[in-house]
Amino acid sequence: MGLLPTYQKLLENNQEWAAEKLAEDKDCFSRLANGQSPPFLFIGCSDSRNPIETITQSQPGDIFVHRNIGNQVLLTDVNVLSVLDYAVNVLQVRHIIVCGHYNCGAVGAAIMGSASGIVNNWIDGLRELYLSVKPELDLLPTTEDRIKRLAEINVLKQAKNVCKTSIIQNAFLTGRYPVIHAWIFDISKGLIKDQPLPIEEWRQLDLIPDHYVGHSQAIS
């Protein structure tokens, strides 16, 4: 890892970036100032090693972003629900991506029981998820393997929670709804893994309708 930038360097980098963008396209910022219509909502972890715009080579205006510790979609969290509501009903995003990552500190703390203070309260749901799948995880040979597997299980659980919200359920009723995705970012490789969703299982639970179109057939 290179030297960490100083505070002043961050501002200098911004000046250079803005100048480069204007050199490429003199109207790029004026267009952005007129409003946004991103096709994607990204719900990810706050971890600094998971910069979604960088790892997907996206541009400003492409992705509407919400982050929290452990990429959780809690049905009692007004913050994430407000973001989801705005993204679906105002911005009319076409895809919702819930993205976890390997080597996640929140997932590790849920397994080890090492969190304290407010963070411990926040990841209580992750701890409960861990305990519910502990027999499966105990079959894995190392703690690292267990943390990786729980990160995968967690991102599927949070994508499922997205489907549980009244926001998405109402969107399903209208027939115009975003496609749900569950990603895992492997920091050690710089690669995203697109996890398949248990569509048929969720249909049986009435979480998604029969007419739901999954990501293999998703609109662009």
pLDDT band at 218 (very low <50, low <70, confident <90, very high): very low
pLDDT band at 216 (very low <50, low <70, confident <90, very high): very low
3-class SS at 213?
Answer: coil
CB 109 within 8 A of CB 54: no
Q: Which CATH superfamily is domain 39-210 in?
A: Carbonic anhydrase (3.40.1050.10)
Between helix 143-164 and helix 166-174 the angle, nearest 10°, is 60
| 133-144 tens-digit pLDDT | 999 999 999 999
Helix (H), strand (E), coil (C) string for 74-127? CCCCHHHHHHHHHHHHCCCCCEEEEEEECCCHHHHHHHHCCCCHHHHHHCHHHH
Domain ranges across the chain: 9-35, 39-210
Question: What does the alpha-carbon distance between residue 90 and residue 130 come to, in Å, rounded to a whole number?
Answer: 35
3-class SS at 41?
Answer: strand
pLDDT band at 215 (very low <50, low <70, confident <90, very high): low
Q: How many CB atoms lie within 10 A of CB 69?
A: 18
Structure tokens at 159: 């994508």
Q: Is the pLDDT of residue 103 over 50?
A: yes
| 162-172 tens-digit pLDDT | 999 999 999 99
CB 47 within 8 A of CB 74: no
Return mean pLDDT, the chain: 94
Q: Is the pLDDT of residue 45 over 70?
A: yes
CB 64 within 8 A of CB 38: yes
Q: How buried is residue 94: exposed, middle or buried, by Cβ count under 10 Å (0-12/13-18/19+)?
A: middle
- Pseudo-torsion of CA 143, 153, 165, 71, nearest 10°? 40
Question: What does the alpha-carbon distance between residue 129 and residue 151 come to, in Å, rounded to a whole number?
Answer: 10
Q: Is the pLDDT of residue 190 over 60?
A: yes
pLDDT at 220: 45
0.75 surpassed by pTM:
yes
- Among 3-7, 36-40, 68-72, 164-168, name the one with the lowest average pLDDT: 3-7
Catalytic residue numbers read 45, 47, 49, 101, 104
